Every structure is written in structure tokens, then in C-alpha cells.
Amino acid sequence: MTTEKTVKIIGAGLAGCEAAWQIANRGIKVRLFEMKPQKMSPAHKSEDFAELVCSNSLRADGIQNAVGLLKEEMRRLGSLIMECADGTRVPAGGALAVDREGFSKMVTEKIKSHNNIEVISCEVSEIDADEYTIVAAGPLASEAISKQIAKLAGGEGLHFFDAAAPIVSFDSINMQKAFKAARYGKGGDDYINCPMTKDEYLAFREALVSAEVALVHEGVEDPKVFEGCMPIEVMAARGVDTMRFGPLKPVGLTSPHDGTRPYAVVQLRQDNAAASMYNIVGFQTHLKFGEQKRVFGMIPGLENAEFVRYGVMHRNTYINSPKLLTSNYNMKEFPKIYFAGQITGVEGYIESAASGMWAGISAAHAIGGKDMPRLSSKTALGALANYISNPATTDFQPMNVNFGIFEDLGMRIKDKKEKAERYAARALEEIEMLKRFNE
């Protein structure tokens, strides 16, 4: 497929880079606009593309899990993000975690070296509805582009708040109290575990719920918290044992120091290839930095922890996609304008990249005058696309990929593993048909 037309892509995050890659590989020129390094958002730390602001892993990698299946679908369709993630992965049990810096550098190098991609370092302040454009500006879009999005969306813009967990240096963790292990022995000793007694847990929870939080956003007193990324202090306030049924659950772990099962456990996950930094799993927070050091220092093993990065909370923006977008991620009213990434209401790094992949493929087919391939909700890619574009949705909320948004199997299967395997087999069969369609 070759054409003289060019696609403008706004934003070089995971979604924008994936979209650029898909379009460029189909022989179409791409102009990729990224405001870094001239202008940085509060969450950006690096000049590289596809920056992982939250250092959580890219989640489960097995196809018996919906996000693992989404990854496999993307691999089979030639995903840049999956190629780079697989090339920079670090140990994380059954999950896919990456060296964040290595991952971003690899994505950046591949994008900048592609003959069909021109990278332009500047902030975009105008969107032309007559020009093929993919808006992948991200949940922290600049004020200028946000105004343009609001204009196109006709007031259908919404907001929610997202949080990132802190990182500590490995050398500062007291391994005489902490220990390496994975729950039920799955994945070896990829996690560092900080065990708590009942008294330690109760004291920690009390300090957590009474700690001082940072101002989230001027004029906002009651932010809308996305349940999938709930601040640990909000979770603690919901009940005495809420954290013990969440990220601090002690099941499947025994302390090698005394042979007992802890009352609660805080887990830390490797954050870089050198294993010099660890992410405190599930500890997204908007506590003030001083409070984080004080309260998290109560965790056994972290009493002298060096915080490489404190947790932060920032505003995310997403549009009312069911009213505005088709399942190809383009606007119903302005069909040459596509959206991709978290701004569409997909939640998560992989889901963002997946939306960029499908938006890019869709735009390339539209420009080339080819029939657009269809994806049903039997696939993870299609389920996400159909979720964000379902016009029957009345209370639209951001969503991670999950089997609940897939087309039903049409049969009742009690065994969860077997059910997931049926979903995966059916999805990958359709993906293979799509590959042949694209050849």
C-alpha cells in the first residue's frame, strides 16, 4: 500500500508510537508530533518516547488472562510495543515487566530510524478536521490541545484521577526482615516481601489513614478515583482488612526467617533490568512526600528505604467515546480524526498501545481506499474497540481489558481455566484470519 498522503499523529506515548509504526509499515508517511523535550507534563521525567510513568508491570503474560491474550494478539499483528517489551523484559513471575528506561529507548530508536516517520518536537495547538490525524496526546494532554479536543468533542470530555506508586532502591531494603519469594512459589523469588505482624499492620493502617495528602488539583476536593488504580490510603480507609484482601494479602507466603505466615505482606517488584530499583506493588498514592517517607518507613524492611521516586497523583482526561467514536477509533462526525490511548477510555499501558494499533491500521486502510477489516468482540482487540464505541453505554467509565467485555462463548463452562482457554483459542483463530486479510 503506497500513497502520497500523510497522517499527523499527536503524542509519542505508547498509543502514538504504535499507531505511527502500523501506518508507516504500510507505506504511508507519518508526521509524529511530540512536545517533549520543549515542554514536559508534570508526570514526564524522560525525553524518550513511550515513557512508562507508572512503573507497574505490563501485567499478566499468559493467554489464559485477558490482558495476556491482548498481548499475544498484538504480537501476531506486528506490534512495536510488544516487540520492545519482549526485548527489555525483567523477571516478574507470570507477569510481563520491563526495564522502563531500556524499553523507552528501544521504542524511541525504532521510531526515529523508520524512513516513513518524521518526528517533530513541538506542541500542537490546532486540529484540522479535514486532515488525517490521530490524537494520542495522552491523559495529561496540554491545555492547548485539550481545548481543541473539547471543541471537537462538543463538551463530551470527562475527567478522572490516576495514581503512581513509589520506587525504592534495592540497597536500602533491610533483607534481614524482608525476603524474596512469589506467592505459592509461582515465578521463583521475583518479588521482595515485607511481612507484618497484626500489631504492625494495625499501626501502619492507622498512620496511613491519618496521613496528610497532597492537593490533587486546585478547586477539586473530592476527585473521582478509578477503582483499578486506587490510592493505598483510600483503600485503607475503606475498612480495617481491605488492604489484607488486596495488595497486602498474606496468602501463599511463609517467612523463611521464622517459618510463620505473616498477618499481612507488602510486596516489591523489580523495576529495572539491573534490579537496583523496586516498585511497591499496589501503593499508588497521593500522600505528601514527607508523609510517604514517614508512613511507608513503618513497613518492616523499609525503615531506612531510599525513595528513588515518590508516588504521585495526577489528572487524567478521557472523552465520552461511545457518543463520539466508531469501533475503528475515528470520530463519527469528523471521520478523518482518530483517537488512541487512555483518552479514549481504555485503561492500562497495553490497552493504550492496542488502541493505537487499531487506530493506525484503520487510518491506513481508509487512506489507501481499502475495505476496513472487522474485529468482533471475540478478540481482545475487538472487545476493547467495541466497548469504547458502544452507543448504548450510559455511564461510560475507563476499562481494562477483561473477559467480561468479550462476546459470550454461548455455552456454560464452570472451570475458569478451560473457559479462558476457549476464549483464547477463538480469539486467536480470528486474529489469524485478520493476518491473512492484511497480507
Distances in Å between the alpha carbon of 251 and those of 24, 160, 205, 245, 254?
48, 32, 19, 9, 8
Q: Determine the Cα–Cα distance for residues 132 and 60; give it in Å rounded to an integer.
A: 34
Of residues 363 and 417, more confidently modeled: 363
Measured CA to CA, the distance from residue 197 to residue 74 in angstroms comes to 43
Note the pLDDT of residue 5. Answer: 85
- What's the pLDDT score for residue 216? 54
Q: Residues near 182 by Cβ (< 8 Å), separated by ≥ 6?
A: 93, 188, 189, 190, 191
Beta bridge partners of 316: 160
* pLDDT tens per residue, range 390-419: 998 877 878 889 888 999 898 888 888 899
Rounded CA-CA distance 357/352 in Å is 9
The average pLDDT across 258-286 equals: 90
Q: Is the pLDDT of residue 24 over 70?
A: yes
Task: Enter the C-alpha cell of residue 42.
Answer: 508534570
The predicted pLDDT at position 1 comes to: 43
Q: DSSP string covering 7-25, please?
A: EEEE--SHHHHHHHHHHHT
Rounded to whole angstroms, the Cα distance separating 400 from 68 reads 12
Q: At 282, phi and psi to the nearest 5?
A: 80, 10
The mean pLDDT of the chain is 88
d(CA 58, CA 92): 10
Question: Which of 109-118, 222-231, 325-334 has the lowest average pLDDT?
Answer: 222-231
In whole angstroms, what is the distance from residue 116 CA to residue 20 CA? 9
Q: What is the Cα–Cα distance from 122 to 124, expressed in whole angstroms?
A: 6
Q: Which domains does the chain have, with CATH numbers?
A: 6-161+317-438 (3.50.50.60), 166-310 (2.40.30.260)
Which residue type is seen at 305? Answer: A
